[in-house]
Amino acid sequence: MLTSKNFCSVSVLLDWIFMKEIDSAGLSVFREKYTRLAELYGWKGNVYLLSIELWRLHKTLSKLPVDTSFYDESVKEMMSNGSNEKLIINFIKKARDSAESLLKRPGIDNVIGALRGKTFRNINELEKAISELAKEASKEKPRVSVDCLAERGEGKVSILIENPTPLPIEAIITLEGAVPLKSATGLKVSPRSIANWESRVFVHDKRVTARVTYKFPGIGIEGVVTVEAPVREVTGPLPSQLYMNRPIESLAKLPERVKYMRITVTYTVNGWRILGHLGEGGFFQVFLAEREGLKAALKIPKEICLVNGANIRFLTAGEISKKLIEEEVSILKKTKEIRETEHILHLVDFYESDIADVRTAMDTIEIPYIAIQYCPKGSLKDVAEQRVLSIREALIVALQVGKTLEKCYERSVFMKHGDIKPENILIDNEGRVVLTDFQTALRERLTQNIVGFTPHYYHPAPDSRADVYALGRVLFDLVSGLYENDTRNLPDQIRDIVVEARSEDPPTMEIFLEKIEKNLLKIH
């Protein structure tokens, strides 16, 4: 006879049989374990039904940072106390329902990512931790600043959104007083970081108002921040003001092209999960890593990090490795300050540096590292090889890099970069050029010795003229390709600029950029 109890059991079994993910071996382990426990404690309930429910709970909790041992021990205790089958099954189902409800929340992965790899004793403690994060996030709003520069009704608006909270936010921007030429929806700002949105605009008022509607995915908190600013009219034609921080249209259209070698064993460095090996430089191995939805280039000294194909081996850090990190960070902190205070986004963003405890198969090792901005569209080397830029775009790139270098000179970061070449000018996700690799400037500053250089781009001048010489070659590359050497084949619009920059006595950066600005005014 089919009783309600038997019907319930049959229903669960059928549900299990037709589930997409069947793990008969795993279920068998549960059944054997709880059969032994039932015999030990004299428990009279349906062991098979209990095993299925626990197995399903484990499968669900595997998607969350929850230790399943709490539930195993609780069930074991209930069986030893003689609790009936219905009470135990309801306890398990309640935990699974809570876990499934949590997993169904839109954006919950972002919230879990913000917990930085913690594991919780049970689902209630996880929910409590999420509630605490939500409480902390609700105390502060995003900080927004807006800047609008225009000339005769056309210009550019730049909006900085700072997220001071421990959770990522999604934002939508609407403007009053100006009409943007690109969408401002689905913007994401990582926890405790700054994001920039900018667009060409048609201006129809003396002031612009930016309305930022934001939400924290996964916890249901939403809000609005409104900021107003005057439109700054350009009194004369100043291309540098109009073009700084501007993505290059041809670069924005490029697909993500950075390739990396996936690794056999996944390591976590202070919450950064290493996804693969990007390559190596003079002193560092560089990895693609991700934390809380933010991707970064993770630099680890080669002295302590051996890479063999898809395998990584970490060694104990010595003083040389730590010194390398300290030296590079000293410059990255200064460039980050320029990036934030001067709003120059052509400098690679510096996220953090620390010494992390990394667990290997044999031991736990202290690993010093640097996390910087990941630029997925590659470098100008790829662009030069394919010659995808127009003359105007190439001039704008040279102007952006040159103005960025000028600000570094002005702020005494270095007297010259010393290693300007297409490989060291990266392309961010929006198609903006980003200057990186300050190791040459640092080593020459510390040792006052000439260090390794790339012949095509090297000039011995101790100041900005060395960078002008290199930047002249980069401009040549972008227009004519990497392997062209005859300047007679250059277009008239840039020939004089390149020839003068590539002379034995190059001009200063200021003079070089003035000539680029004048030429930009002639090219439409």
State mean pLDDT over 188-208: 86
Q: Where in the chain is the domain with CATH 1.10.510.10?
A: 378-521
Identify the residue with better confidence: 447 or 314.
314
| Distance separating alpha carbons of residues 85 and 52, to the nearest angstrom | 13
State mean pLDDT over 16-20: 43
| CATH classification code of 261-373 | 3.30.200.20
Q: Give residue 29's pLDDT.
A: 84
Q: Give residue 524's pLDDT.
A: 58
Q: Give residue 18's pLDDT.
A: 40
Q: Give residue 450's pLDDT.
A: 44
Query: pLDDT confidence of 445, banded at 50, 70, 90?
Result: very low
Assigned token pair, 276: 């693969």
Q: Give residue 335's pLDDT.
A: 93
pLDDT digits (tens, 9 = 90+) for 129-160: 888 888 888 888 999 999 888 877 888 888 98
Q: Give residue 394's pLDDT.
A: 95
pLDDT at 11 over 60: no
Among 75-89, 345-359, 426-440, 474-488, the range of highest mean pLDDT: 75-89
Q: Which CATH superfamily is domain 140-236 in?
A: Immunoglobulins (2.60.40.10)
| Distance separating alpha carbons of residues 265 and 227, to the nearest angstrom | 47
State mean pLDDT over 27-53: 90
pLDDT digits (tens, 9 = 90+) for 386-397: 888 999 999 999
State mean pLDDT over 217-228: 90
Q: Give residue 449's pLDDT.
A: 46
SS (H, E, C) 215-278: EECCCCEEEEEEEEEEEEECCCCCHHHHHCCCCCHHHHCCCCCCCCEECCCCCEECCEEEEEEE
pLDDT at 22 over 50: no
Find the helix packing angle between 24-41 and 69-80, rounded to 10°.
Answer: 30
Taken in order 61, 67, 69, 72, the sign of the CA dihedral is negative
Answer yes or no: pTM beyond 0.85. Answer: no
Chain mean pLDDT for the chain: 85
Whether 520 contacts 395, CB under 8 Å: yes
Identify the residue with better confidence: 390 or 282.
390
Q: Give residue 328's pLDDT.
A: 87
Q: Give residue 440's pLDDT.
A: 64
Q: Where in the chain is the domain with CATH 3.30.200.20?
A: 261-373
Q: Which CATH superfamily is domain 378-521 in?
A: Transferase(Phosphotransferase) domain 1 (1.10.510.10)
Q: Where in the chain is the domain with CATH 2.60.40.10?
A: 140-236
pLDDT digits (tens, 9 = 90+) for 117-136: 678 999 999 999 888 888 88
State mean pLDDT over 378-403: 93
Find the helix packing angle between 319-341 and 391-410, rounded to 10°.
Answer: 110
Three-class secondary structure of residue 318 per DSSP: coil
State mean pLDDT over 286-307: 88
Q: Give residue 447's pLDDT.
A: 43
pLDDT at 107 over 90: no
Whether 301 contacts 316, CB under 8 Å: no
